[in-house]
Structure 1
């Protein structure tokens, strides 16, 4: 546990919380004292491993399963959350304080190679799922809560090779703006955290040394981002320290594009 304990007594849900950035966010929120629901879509072993890592560090967590991008995915997720919260933390008040919409997939194709099936799937997982997760989660989210949507620096630059993916994240950016205004009377903040080139398994091209070097050069620090770099920003936005920050797009890219 960290010395701050700034999320002590809170309950958090991290979608796609078992790997990559989601795993780092889950572990960081738990280290700060939150009880974390680690959502996964397919990799149960990864979710169990993340939960065990959190518990080894002295935190509390439990895994929930719901495949996103399919019919009634949000309802399935919330049913699993309610059930597992009651099972694993019966003394914890039902509800939620922090919701991190992190789950997503990439689609590394230019427009001429994107099929309708590709398009529908990436939008279903990256845009439709968080929309309805939020819609159905608002009654569970306590006043003074935090919503953090994980977007991408790709919404601010032209990347023809991932055009459909970038569009899904741009839609998520607007969701942040509208919800921030709507939920302000409940003192709920809504913000976007946008990573840049980050070292996760979602991008297999990073195994190529030349690609790694080229992408690292885009950052002012000359390196790829690490999941912990993003998790630390999320932990701040989820804290009481960020109570006066809402409707914002936080650049967590390590200064990508500053020299352009």
Structure 2
């Protein structure tokens, strides 16, 4: 049994990851920022007992430190961190350079970097220091994005934050290997979460499915399966990797 902190676990990929760990008998701290009702639903769905809710805005460095402390206290320790929470592309975060004001450009850039990169970095620091203090092995898995490689012209801050998250994960893989802490990242393509249901059911659905030669998009469960493997002791030699999960919709060299 391991103790796992999953950020942004109120729904979507985070919920699927939390369910996957709990299904293996692990104890999970379900983090959320504002969607408490959804987070409580995730908690209710988890098999087993000993799970917990932790809340906080990862854009606030003080909150990030408190989240780690609360997860450690609630679970009796943390062995695995999954950095999933992010400010994602949406109508209110669109910031195409030719269309937005400078004020909105700055607002979105700061918010995405604060949460997607710095929030993950601060949580990684806290969990790593906890593991080092215990003298225990562990793992960190970052949820990145295909957009880090192919570009996000309407959401450049998102693409940049995920590319930086991948690079941060590789730096930490080297830094934490002497402490037996493995750090990896996954880079999903389009995933059919609740938030994307309107796109999938609307006029853009066919085009999204056609991005992959499989003729479909990814599922949260497929991302969760990859996270389970990468966080396992058997995958420690994969530390430093960035795993593409996009159904051959984008191939990088």
The match for 1:91 is none
**Which residue among 97, 119, 123 is the counterpart of 1:111?**
97
Mapping for residues 1-260 of structure 1, pairs under 5 Å: 9-55=1-47, 58=48, 60-85=50-75, 94-106=76-88, 107-112=93-98, 113=100, 114-141=104-131, 143-203=136-196, 206-257=199-250
Q: Give secondary structure in 1 for the equivalent of 2:46.
A: helix
Give TM-score scaled by structure 2 length.
Answer: 0.89
CA distance in 1, matches of 2:113, 2:41: 28
1:205 deviates by 5.2
4+ residue runs over 6 A deviation: none
Q: In the TM superposition, what whole-angstrom CA distance separates every residue of 1:196-239 from its partner, at most 9, and x where no partner exists?
A: 00012344651553211101111121101110010001011111
Give RMSD over aligned pairs.
Answer: 1.9
Q: Give secondary structure in 2 for the equivalent of 1:168.
A: helix
CA distance in 1, matches of 2:151, 2:111: 22
Q: Does the 8 Å CA contact 2:72/2:78 hold for their aligned counterparts? A: no
Cα gap change, 1:226 to 1:41, in 2 (>3 Å)? same
CA distance in 1, matches of 2:54, 2:74: 7
Cα gap change, 1:204 to 1:108, in 2 (>3 Å)? farther
1:189 deviates by 0.8
Q: Give secondary structure in 2 for the equivalent of 1:190.
A: strand
Q: Does the 8 Å CA contact 1:54/1:60 hold for their aligned counterparts? A: no
Greater CA deviation, 249-258 or 226-235? 249-258
Q: Does the 8 Å CA contact 1:216/1:224 hold for their aligned counterparts? A: yes
CA distance in 1, matches of 2:159, 2:208: 17
Greater CA deviation, 132-141 or 22-31? 132-141
1:70 deviates by 2.6
Q: Does the 8 Å CA contact 2:109/2:157 hold for their aligned counterparts? A: yes
The match for 1:6 is none
Q: Give secondary structure in 2 for the equivalent of 1:96.
A: coil
Q: 5+ residue gaps in structure 1?
A: 1-8, 86-93
Q: 5+ residue gaps in structure 2?
A: none
CA distance in 1, matches of 2:65, 2:222: 31
Q: Give secondary structure in 1 for the equivalent of 2:218.
A: coil
1:243 deviates by 2.0
CA distance in 1, matches of 2:232, 2:49: 17
CA distance in 2, matches of 1:10, 1:71: 26
Q: Does the 8 Å CA contact 2:143/2:185 hold for their aligned counterparts? A: yes
1:69 deviates by 1.2
* Count of aligned positions: 241
Structure that is richer in helix per residue: 2
